């Protein structure tokens, strides 16, 4: 399901604001510096943490100029790492996609909330999971789990001891109703591998697992556990890949969404940069969105 009008971008902004009580609490006091693109930050920043959707690409297309900009940062000796909530994709497919779009990332330079979720599952005992995910990708990277894809069989929901919300491309209102009914009858853990409410596509904003997770929380009272931006677990894993003496003041989280990329980066203690002309804020007044949310990036730029 996609949305196509400016009012839908406003809807997405309001949807994020409506769930702020479930997001990290952070105070913002500084103002924002407007720059042209990421290259303008080279003197200030050593490590670039990049959201993917809305920063590198929109859907299956690279943002114009983004591959060249990232190559220039890499050639300048900067550390560049993708930090994405794209939990629905195995890393192998993401690396293939980025290469096809003109980016050159090593596996350790791409961190997704899928990895963070799988890392978190290691601390849990064996459980039978009901899986919100696209069957088209099979169980790649998930085959060690006792997991069953959720569809229209109500019994599958009731058999699950916990639920994993990873990808929503094949999710439907019928499936959402079955999940909520099963949780109302028997509350169980819900682990969300993608906290995003929306993601930018060529034809609009798709609704992501976070959208459905917040809905079921409101409907059932079950509190989901989120893995990915804006939550600390993904930033802890990203920063653990950097040298211990890396100065947080010279790390920037770059994203298109105030309530995930900018809020999460600030909570993690790093600088933040907002992309305004692609992604979640496209067509909106970014200054008004910043004022309404109280989420203030360190840098604002129209494009990467």
Residues 303, 281 contacting (CB under 8 angstroms): no
pLDDT for residue 261 = 98
Instruction: Name the nearest CA neighbour of 303 among 278, 272, 283, 282.
Output: 278
- Give the per-residue pLDDT at 64: 96
- Residue 42 in contact with residue 73, Cβ under 8 Å? yes
Other C-beta atoms lying within 10 Å of the C-beta of residue 109: 18
Of the candidates 223, 222, 230, the one whose C-alpha atom is nearest the C-alpha of residue 257 is 230
Sign of CA dihedral 258, 260, 263, 264: negative
Structural domains of the chain in order of their starting residue, each with its CATH number: 2-24+31-101+109-115+229-301 (3.40.50.1000), 124-226 (3.40.50.1000)
Compute the distance between CA of residue 88 and CA of residue 127 in angstroms, rounded to an integer. 20
**Pair of tokens at residue 268:** 């993690």
Dist. CA 174–CA 184, nearest whole Å: 15
Q: What is the pLDDT of residue 4?
A: 41
Question: Is the separation of the CB atoms in 142 and 191 below 8 Å?
Answer: no
- SS3 string of the chain? CEECCHHHHHHHHHHHHHCHHHCCCCCCCCCCEECCCHHHHCCCCCEEEECCECCCEECCEECCCHHHHHHHHHHCCCEEEEEECCCCCCHHHHHHHHHHHCCCCCHHHEEEHHHHHHHHHCCCCCCEEEEECCHHHCCCCCCCCEEEECCCCHHHHHHCCEEEECCCCCCCHHHHHHHHHHHHHCCCCEEECCCCCEEEECCEEEECHHHHHHHHHHHHCCCCEECCCCCHHHHHHHHHCCCCCCCHHHEEEEECCHHHHHHHHHHCCCEEEEECCCHHHCCCCHHHHHHHHCCCCCEEECCC
Q: Return the pLDDT at 191.
A: 98
For the packed helices 173-185 and 209-220, what is the interaxial angle rounded to 10 degrees?
Answer: 40
Each residue's pLDDT expressed in tens, for the chain with a length of 304 residues: 344 444 678 889 999 999 999 999 999 988 999 999 999 999 999 999 999 999 999 988 999 999 999 999 999 999 999 999 999 999 999 999 999 999 999 999 999 999 999 999 999 989 999 999 999 999 999 999 999 999 999 999 999 999 999 999 999 999 999 999 999 999 999 999 999 998 877 777 789 999 999 999 999 999 999 999 999 999 999 999 999 999 999 999 999 999 999 999 999 999 999 999 998 888 899 999 999 999 999 999 999 9
Tokens representing 39 are 């290259």
Structure tokens at 208: 């992501």
Q: Using an 8 Å Cβ cutoff, are 264 and 282 in contact?
A: no
Q: What is the model's pLDDT at position 204?
A: 73
Q: Is the dihedral of CA 283, 259, 33, 247 positive or negative?
A: negative
Q: What is the predicted pLDDT for the residue at 59?
A: 85
Distances in whole angstroms, Cα of residue 140 to Cα of each of 17, 88, 110, 134, 137: 34, 11, 17, 11, 7
């Amino acid at each position: 399901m996609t949305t196509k009008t400016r009012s839908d971008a406003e809807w997405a902004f309001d949807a994020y604001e409506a769930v702020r009580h479930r997001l990290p609490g952070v105070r913002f006091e500084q103002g924002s510096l407007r720059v042209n693109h990421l290259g303008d930050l080279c003197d200030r920043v050593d490590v670039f943490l990049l959201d993917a959707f809305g920063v590198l690409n929109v859907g299956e297309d690279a943002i114009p100029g983004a591959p060249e900009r990232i190559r220039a940062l890499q050639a300048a000796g900067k550390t560049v790492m993708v930090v994405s909530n794209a939990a629905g994709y195995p890393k192998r497919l993401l690396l293939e996609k980025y290469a096809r779009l003109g980016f050159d990332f090593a596996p350790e330079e791409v961190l997704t909330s899928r990895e963070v979720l799988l890392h978190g599952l290691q601390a849990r005992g064996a459980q039978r999971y009901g899986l919100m995910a696209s069957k088209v990708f099979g169980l790649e990277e998930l085959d060690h789990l006792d997991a069953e894809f959720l569809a229209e069989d109500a019994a599958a929901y009731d058999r699950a001891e916990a639920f994993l919300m990873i990808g929503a491309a094949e999710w439907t209102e019928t499936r959402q109703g079955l999940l909520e009914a099963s949780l109302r009858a028997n509350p169980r853990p819900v682990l969300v591998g993608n906290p995003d409410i929306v993601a930018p596509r060529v034809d609009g904003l798709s609704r992501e697992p976070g959208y459905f997770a917040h809905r079921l929380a409101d409907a059932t009272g079950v509190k989901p556990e989120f893995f990915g931006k804006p939550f600390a677990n993904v930033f802890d894993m990203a920063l653990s890949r950097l040298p211990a003496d890396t100065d947080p003041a010279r790390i920037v989280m770059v994203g298109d969404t105030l309530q995930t990329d900018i809020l999460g980066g600030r909570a993690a203690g790093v600088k933040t940069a907002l992309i305004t002309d692609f992604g979640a804020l496209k067509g909106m007044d970014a200054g008004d969105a910043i004022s309404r949310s109280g989420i203030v990036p360190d840098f604002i730029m129209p494009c990467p």
